[in-house]
């Protein structure tokens, strides 16, 4: 029989108290639904832009099967490289960065 483990400090586990539905209702443009990742992924527009930019960095073109962890990372970003939504959001972010500067 497996014993139940309590945390060491004897405190209750942290549970975030964010009402996700209320937050999404207030910030409808902050999240996008990814058309390429599995599971109807909702991702923040900022993270989507980061993934698109990272996927299109030239250094990823030279990564082969080794080191394996980088290969896995590269393959995870593969759908982002040619993604139209990611490109559109990246262009929009670059435009707003230029306007702010
Ligand atoms: S860049 Fe495209 S594939 Fe990548 S997370 Fe954004 S929407 Fe999804």
Report, as an integer, the average pLDDT of 22-45. 89
Report, as an integer, the average pLDDT of 18-22. 84
Does residue 39 belong to any structural domain of this protein? yes
Of the two residues 63 and 56, the one the predictor is more confident about is 56
Ligand 1 center to residue 56 CA distance, Å?
Answer: 12
Does residue 45 belong to any structural domain of this protein? yes
Does residue 30 belong to any structural domain of this protein? yes
Does residue 11 belong to any structural domain of this protein? no
pLDDT at 80 over 70: yes
Does residue 18 belong to any structural domain of this protein? no
Does residue 75 belong to any structural domain of this protein? yes
Write 47-50 long-range contacts (CB < 8 A, 24+).
Answer: 48/80, 48/85, 48/86, 48/89, 49/86, 49/89, 49/90, 49/93
Report, as an integer, the average pLDDT of 69-88. 92
Of the two residues 67 and 16, the one the predictor is more confident about is 67
User: For the chain, what is the domain count?
Assistant: 1
pLDDT band of 99, cuts 50, 70, 90: confident
Of the two residues 24 and 5, the one the predictor is more confident about is 24
In this structure, the residue with its CA closest to atom 4 of ligand 1 is 80
Percent of the chain with pLDDT over 90: 35
- What atom in ligand 1 is closest to the CA of residue 79? 3
In this structure, the residue with its CA closest to atom 7 of ligand 1 is 34
Phi, psi for 31 (deg, rounded to 5): -115, 145
Q: Which domain holds residue 57?
A: 26-88
pLDDT at 8 over 80: no
């Amino acid at each position: 029989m497996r014993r139940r483990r309590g945390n060491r400090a004897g405190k209750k586990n942290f549970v975030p108290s964010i009402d996700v539905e209320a937050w999404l209702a207030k910030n409808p443009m902050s999240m996008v639904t990814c058309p390429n990742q599995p599971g109807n992924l909702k991702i923040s527009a900022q993270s989507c832009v980061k993934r698109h930019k990272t996927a299109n960095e030239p250094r990823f073109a030279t990564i082969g099967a080794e080191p394996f962890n980088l290969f896995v990372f590269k393959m995870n970003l593969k759908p982002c490289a040619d993604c139209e939504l990611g490109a559109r959001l990246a262009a929009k972010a670059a435009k707003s960065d230029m306007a702010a500067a």
